Amino acid sequence: MDELRNKARELLESGAVQMVIGYEQGTGNKTRAVFVEDPVQVPRLIFDSRCVQNLAVYMTKAEVRKKGKPALVASVPVLRSLIQLAYENQIHDESLVVLGVSPDLKLIEFSNLSEIENYLKQYTLEISIRDKEILQKLENMSADERWQYWTTVLEPCFKCYACRAACPLCYCTQCTVEDNRPQWVPVASHPLGNFEWHIMRAMHMAGRCTDCEACANACPIGIPLNLLTKKIVMDMGKSFGDNGPSLTARNPMSTFRPDDKENFIN
């Protein structure tokens, strides 16, 4: 904790960054993002297990960028997102200073993104056993049961797009749901609109999702929509040996192998 604050203060005072993006105590037991521009405010910075919002999301927000070069407090899921953002040309070494926080809450400094990529090698992206069991349970259902499950679970969705807004990789300036030539996805949050939105969102995350769960945490009505992305992440691993973001490896959906295996095309 002190490590983190000291580093933050040092960066701000030295002018290396104009702002430190980290976490502070929020309402009740919640934590939230804080943007520290004045070294005096540094004590507001905290980090603990409650700090799960993926702060990488702010790297693509115009108003934040306007404030100059930030230092970003980043746990492992956030680091993954940063690598994917770099792969997608949204950030580069000069865009930010990364204040990494290891799972045991130690501060890790990185001088560039490839150091982060190397660091992440020890945390290859994999779905937790618990999640695998949940997915397994769904996969064991009959198709009709799954259909029932998803239509019921997605029915309350009112398309506030908190899932999209909280996801660091949903940074498009115009989301496909906002494209009305043609209107790919109905704007209304009726059953079809909800269903198409969620299946499309999951497809857009294929080969990109880092399983940070920001989407599910953001949902105000608790829809477990990260099950869809978890399923995708698992498939990507199974089918194409994808094991998380990389600065160099091609995205599994924009490349192929002539011997890709599939069992349903005849």
Rule CB under 8 A: which of 44-63 touch another protein?
Answer: 53, 57-58, 61-63
Kindly state the smallest distance separating residue 202's Cβ from another protein, in Å.
6
| Span from 10-18, 38-46, 88-96, 112-120 in contact with another protein (CB under 8 A) | 88-96
**Phi, then psi, of 214 in degrees rounded to 5:** -55, -40
Kindly state the smallest distance separating residue 188's Cβ from another protein, in Å.
4
| End-to-end C-alpha distance for the chain, whole angstroms | 58
**Nearer to another protein among residue 108 and residue 134 (C-beta):** 134
Rule CB under 8 A: which of 170-199 touch another protein?
Answer: 171-176, 178-179, 181-193, 195-196, 199
Kindly state the smallest distance separating residue 91's Cβ from another protein, in Å.
12
32 interacts with another protein by CB under 8 A: yes
Nearest to 57, CA basis, from 29, 36, 32, 94: 32
**Nearer to another protein among residue 112 and residue 255 (C-beta):** 255
| Span from 6-14, 33-41, 95-103, 124-132 in contact with another protein (CB under 8 A) | 33-41
DSSP 20: E
28 interacts with another protein by CB under 8 A: yes
Which structure tokens are listed for 152? 């019921």
Total binding residues toward another protein, as defined by CB under 8 A: 99
**Nearer to another protein among residue 108 and residue 237 (C-beta):** 237
140 interacts with another protein by CB under 8 A: no
Nearest to 257, CA basis, from 234, 241, 244: 241
- How far is residue 33 from each of residues 48, 50, 63, 266, measured CA to CA in Å? 13, 12, 14, 51
Rounded to whole angstroms, how far apart are CA atoms 140 and 131? 14
Rule CB under 8 A: which of 107-126 touch another protein?
Answer: none
**Phi, then psi, of 261 in degrees rounded to 5:** -95, 135
Handedness of CA 174, 178, 183, 186 (dihedral sign): positive
Kindly state the smallest distance separating residue 136's Cβ from another protein, in Å.
11
Rounded to whole angstroms, how far apart are CA atoms 20 and 18? 7
State how beta strands 70-74 and 31-36 pair. unpaired
Rule CB under 8 A: which of 141-170 touch another protein?
Answer: 143-151, 153, 155-156, 158-162, 164-166
Rule CB under 8 A: which of 61-80 touch another protein?
Answer: 61-64
Rounded to whole angstroms, how far apart are CA atoms 66 and 112? 22
Kindly state the smallest distance separating residue 208's Cβ from another protein, in Å.
9
Rule CB under 8 A: which of 221-250 touch another protein?
Answer: 221-224, 228, 231-232, 235-236, 239-240, 250
